Amino acid sequence: MTGTVYLVGAGPGAPDLLTLRAARLLERADVLFHDALVHPGTLALAKRAEKIAVGKRCGRHSTAQRFINKRLIDAARRHTTIVRLKGGDPMLFGRASEEIAALEAAEIRYEIVPGVTAALAASAEMGISLTQRGLARSVAFATPRIGHGAGPSNWATAIAAADTGAIYMGAGQAREIADALRAAGVPTSTPIALVENASLAHSRSFVITLEELPELASEAFTGPVVMLIGAQFAVAAAAAGGRELQIHSPASQRPLATASK
């Protein structure tokens, strides 16, 4: 007999944005494999679990995916409830497909528990919808990050073709992203919102234009950043004038405030 591996979405950061199902599985977990940026309050829910960090962070020591796959299989052969906790949603830029393939090959049961992805939390943080009637009817999720050995990606073309774009894991590539979007035909006047640490108390947001994006290449971001691109952010861009926005209180109660600086 083997246990079940649950691929669980930890959401964008705030522990109270977990689904009820995710919270209950954390409470039951025998072993918890978690990403690097999962909130300590979320990890604290797994009171009885052995906690194992297997996160990946750009430019830092990371756990190889094949090793994570093996550890999940080994744990399932010794325990009943194994939780693989991933930031955001497991099925969006979470490499869930690789873990699923390994579990299926080993005939290990698994289930997927969705989570709130960062783009949705960032949109809620700012109070600006990713879709708007008559203005934005399509959304593209993309990342410029290319894995080792992978071929080139047409992510910029996908963003340019959609009414709204959400770019993940791109904070350190501001200049390259700006060049790629311009080459794909995105106007330099297009507004871009950058939200760091969406859903957390220390979140911060910038609203600029594509032309100004390279200026943020030297910005010292300490947490995950999602870039939101679309005409609906024009009002925020005009209010901010390319400066940092101050956001207060819980995300559900945070109005878009005037710019500081």
Tell me, letter by letter, the H, E, C secondary structure of the chain: CCCEEEEEECECCCHHHCCHHHHHHHHHCCEEEECCCCCHHHHCCCCCCEEEECCCCCCCCCCCHHHHHHHHHHHHCCCCEEEEEECECCCCCCCHHHHHHHHHHCCCEEEEECCCCHHHHHHHHHCCCCCECCCECCEEEECCCCCCCCCCCCHHHHHHHCCEEEEECCHHHHHHHHHHHHHCCCCCCCEEEEEECCCCCCCEEEEEEHHHHHHHHHCCCCCCEEEEEEHHHHHHHHHHCCCEECCCCCHHHCCCCCECC
Report pLDDT for 247.
38
- Asked if 125 and 199 sit in the same domain, the reply is yes
Report pLDDT for 153.
85
- Asked if 146 and 242 sit in the same domain, the reply is yes
- Asked if 38 and 160 sit in the same domain, the reply is no
- Asked if 71 and 169 sit in the same domain, the reply is no
- Number of compact structural domains in the chain: 2
Question: Percentage of the chain surpassing pLDDT 90?
Answer: 74
Report pLDDT for 16.
97
Question: Percentage of the chain surpassing pLDDT 70?
Answer: 85
Q: Tell me the per-residue pLDDT of 14-40, one tens digit each, with 9 for 90 and over.
A: 999 999 999 999 999 999 999 999 999
- Asked if 131 and 239 sit in the same domain, the reply is yes
State the pTM of this model. Answer: 0.87
User: Is residue 183 domain-resident?
Assistant: yes
State the Cα–Cα distance between residues 136 and 13, nearest whole angstrom: 27
For residue 133, the enclosing domain spans: 118-253
Q: Pick from 69, 84, 113: which residue ends a domain? A: 113
Mean pLDDT (whole number) for 119-145: 95
User: Is residue 260 domain-resident?
Assistant: no
Active site residues: 35, 56
User: Is residue 15 domain-resident?
Assistant: yes
User: Is residue 259 domain-resident?
Assistant: no
Mean pLDDT (whole number) for 179-197: 96
- Asked if 123 and 249 sit in the same domain, the reply is yes
